[in-house]
Structure formats: structure tokens, C-alpha cells
Copies of this chain bind each other. A is one copy, B any other.
Amino acid sequence: MFEGIVDMSMENKKLVEAITSMDEDFAQWYTDIVKKAELIDYSQVRGCMVIRPYGYAIWENMQKVLDGMFKETGHENVYMPMFIPESLLQKEKDHVEGFAPEVAWVTHGGSEKLAERMCVRPTSETLFCEHYSHIIQSYRDLPKLYNQWCSVVRWEKTTRPFLRTTEFLWQEGHTAHATFEEAQEETIRMLNIYARFYEEYLAIPVIKGQKTEREKFAGAQSTYTIECLMHDGKALQGATSHNFGDGFARAFNITYLDKDNQLKYVNQTSWGATTRMIGAVIMVHGDNDGLVLPPKIAPIELVIVPIAMQKEGVLDKAYELKEKLSKTFRVKLDDSDKSPGWKFSEYEMKGVPLRLEIGPKDIADNKCVLVRRDTREKVSVSLDNLQDEIAKLLDDIQKNLYNKALKLREEKTFETDNFEDFKNIIEKSPGFIKAHWCGDEKCEEKVKEETGATSRCIPFGESKRDGAKCIVCKKEAKELLYWGKAY
């Protein structure tokens, strides 16, 4: 197995400009990482970012996996226009109220003023509904299981790369079903797909649950969410899935002739996940040396750093290894004339899961050194069974990241029946707080006003305690809720 040389020494670090410590200033630490790991560049457009190759490669890896999961479950991709005429946006009352205040309006085409202004899509329910009203006639046309990868625009007041930007990339699934029950099944199916993606690929544990009335999507009958906890104890909504019932169908007159010869409204869902997932990965796994990427979505799983590469045979061996390993892994060989120390820091900053060092002495011994990004463990391994060792290590890193994140979340999940305690926790050691609630929106509002925390979800699989009281009004509780300050 491994020859267990554990080397936690730091000699080769801090050769690139240091980043702010996360304990000192988490927000600055985050900003430093997105810039220095070359994930983004700021643009001249307010709240819009340039996603650079390394950041975009992470997104492409995420897309590939999610898109595969969607297609496996029978979904098809489509593309809708990016513009929504104002009258179309206004068709569903709750929906327009939710989105109209935060859209970008196009008023002119070339030099002509438009007869009706259009917004850039903040989300595409209205466009899908319009299309569904054209193509759905009979029960034979159902279900329709469509998805779209695109960018959307929401005019946000304060923005932060990946977490909240004026424009962001996402996928939005929009489906139409014969019955409410089928729509509900779909809503939960997609929530489970998101949860599996977060846990198996992003190595981020999630709490699955339902949003309260106050927090649900504009126009939805019910909204489901996966909630995850960041390193600083703040919550982040990972993805959402909505059951619309027949609300949109009534507004857009989407009907089908059923087997019983009755004209019925369809029932619809929508579900989405965004580039925000990259922010979640940074804030769950990152450390004071930069990004730490789960191998399954890392653009580079293994970086090869040749040592003393001017010595005869070193670069040849490095190229040979690169070619061999590239058949199985995403490999980069850095043969630039920068120092090994600089390269170590650079790929630590970029969160590459494994580093392979190879120098003259290693070659003489038919060995190389592998260094894990997550634990810094350093092992010397034989070149003869390198593939297996790398596969095992990557698998172990993926699991370790998940377990560390789970442990952190458990440490930062609290439960209380006392509002003063609640306030103390939020202020002094933020995290998830499990607390009971009467079901009244006023109590929910009061928690937000007095603590800044919002209800995250009514969790699946965790019931309220018999006889429990609302944390605010002390009346009988209806639900156990997860609460937290959120991004």
C-alpha cells in the first residue's frame, strides 16, 4: 500500500502572494480565492463577472454530470428566447410580483423604440408555459420533461461572485404532467437528484426539506430545497424544486383532453441549480491556502511537477507519466520554468486534489511522490502500480472532503426552544438552528428581524417533538424548522 511518509511541513508555501485568512475575514478570503485561483475576473458591467477558463471548467464538469442525470430520467433539453414581453411576464400574478422589481428592461431595438418593452429572462416559466400551450393537446402529449441551460438576469442590489450576480448561469427544468400527484413525484425526484449530486460529486452534505409559505418561489404551490452549511456557519440554498399545481396552467390556459374525454389543466414543476454551486464548493472545502476541489469535479485531478527538471531524463519521465495517466485521469504537467515551490503553491491555490512530484532520485528508485491537497499527506509510491494508487487516493479525498464537511455541519447544528439562546447562537457561533414554529408568518418575520436568520426549510425525515412550542410565541408548534443566516 502506501509508504506512509506524512509531511505536514509548510516550507514551500507562501511563495505566491498570500490570501486573507478565513478566520480573520471570511468575505475577503472568499474574494481572494475567486481572484487568485483565477476563477473569475470583474467586468465593467455592474454585478456581472467574467468566468475564466479554470472556473468555467468546473462549471462544465458540473453540467456534464447533472445533464447526464437529467437525461437518464427522461428529460430533454430545449432553448427558449432570452426575452419576455412585459404582457407575458404579467400573466401569472404572483410570479410577476416576485420578479418584476428585479428585471432588466429592453426598450429599444437598434434605433427604434419597442412598442412593448421586454425583460431579459429572470427565469423562464412564462416562456415554457406559452410554448406548452401550443404543443400540449392530449394526454398522449404528457408528460413533457424539458430542461434548459442558459444564463438569466436579476437586478441585484449587492452582488458577490458566484453567490449573487446580476447575470448567472443555470439550468431550469420545466415539466408538465397530467395530475398533481405526478407533478409532485417529479418535484421530489429532481430534489433527490440535486441532493445526490451535491453529496456524491460536490462532497457537500445537504438538508432536504420544504420551504415555508414566506420563502417559497413566486407562483409555486410548494417549494423544496437542499440547504447546506458553509465554513463560516452561514447557510446556502443549494438548489430548489417547485410544484406549481395548475396555477400557471390556468393563467396560460394549458389544457389537455384526457382519456375520459374531459378537458383538464396540466400540473407543472420547475427546478434549478446555478453557478452558485461553485461558490458552495469554495466555502465548504476551501482553506487558507486556497481552493480545495472534490476530485469528481476538479478540472485537473492530478498535477505533475518535475523536480530538478534540467537534469537528464526528468522531463522525459514526466511526459511519459503524463501520457500514461491522461488515459484515466485529468492530468496537467507543469513544465514551465517556474520553481517547484512556486508550482506547489499555485496548484494548492487552485485546489488540485493530488500533486505528483518526480525528480532524479525518484526515477532512480522507480518511484514518485504523491501529495494530497486535503490532508497534505505525502507518500512515496512505486511507478509500477501508480494508476491504482492515484485512483484510490482520489476516491479517498472525495470521501474525506464529504466527511469533513458533514462533521463541520454537525458541529455547527444546534437545537433550542429558547429565543434568547437562539439569538446568542446566531451571534456567537452561527450555524443551523433547529427550532419549533407555530406556522404563523409573523413569528417567522420576527426571527428574521431580531436575528437576521431566515427559515431554511421544514426538514424531511425529522418530525417535530410532541408538545413542542413555537420559539417565538410559545403557542403549540406546527413544524420543526431549520433556521440560519443565509447567503
**A residues touching B (Cβ–Cβ < 8 Å)?**
41, 43-45, 48-53, 56-57, 59-60, 76-85, 88, 100-111, 118, 120, 127, 130-131, 134-135, 146, 150-151, 153, 155, 166-167, 169
Contacts and interface: CB of A to CB of B under 8 A. Distances in A.
B50 A110 contact: no
State the 8 A-B residue pairs at the shortest beta-carbon distance, nearest first: A48-B81, A53-B76, A109-B155, A51-B79, A105-B108, A110-B155, A45-B81, A107-B107
A45 B77 contact: no
A150 B59 CA distance: 14
A44 B76 contact: no
A360 to B, nearest CB: 26
Contacts of A57: 76-77
Contacts of A41: 131, 134-135
Contacts of A48: 81-83
Given A45-B85, A45-B118, A53-B78, 7 more contacts: A48-B82, A52-B78, A52-B135, A59-B79, A79-B169, A105-B106, A107-B108
Contacts of A43: 80-81, 127, 130-131
Nearest to A101: B110
A147 to B, nearest CB: 10
A50 B81 contact: yes
A110, A127, A169, most chain B CB atoms within 10 A: A110
A427 B65 CA distance: 53
Copies in the complex: 2
A11 B103 CA distance: 55
Given A57-B76, A77-B60, A106-B105, A82 B131 contact: no
Given A44-B85, A85-B45, A107-B107, A50 B167 contact: no
18 contacts: A43-B127, A44-B130, A45-B81, A45-B85, A49-B81, A50-B79, A50-B131, A53-B78, A53-B146, A56-B77, A57-B77, A82-B120, A83-B104, A83-B167, A100-B110, A103-B109, A103-B110, A107-B107
Given A53-B77, A110-B103, A82 B151 contact: yes
Nearest to A336: B140
A81 B81 CA distance: 17
Contacts of A118: 45
Contact of A79 (B56, B100, B105, B130): B56
Nearest to A50: B131
Contact of A56 (B78, B84, B107): B78
Nearest to A145: B53
Nearest to A60: B77
Contacts of A153: 82
Nearest to A85: B44
A73 B384 CA distance: 31
Nearest to A130: B44
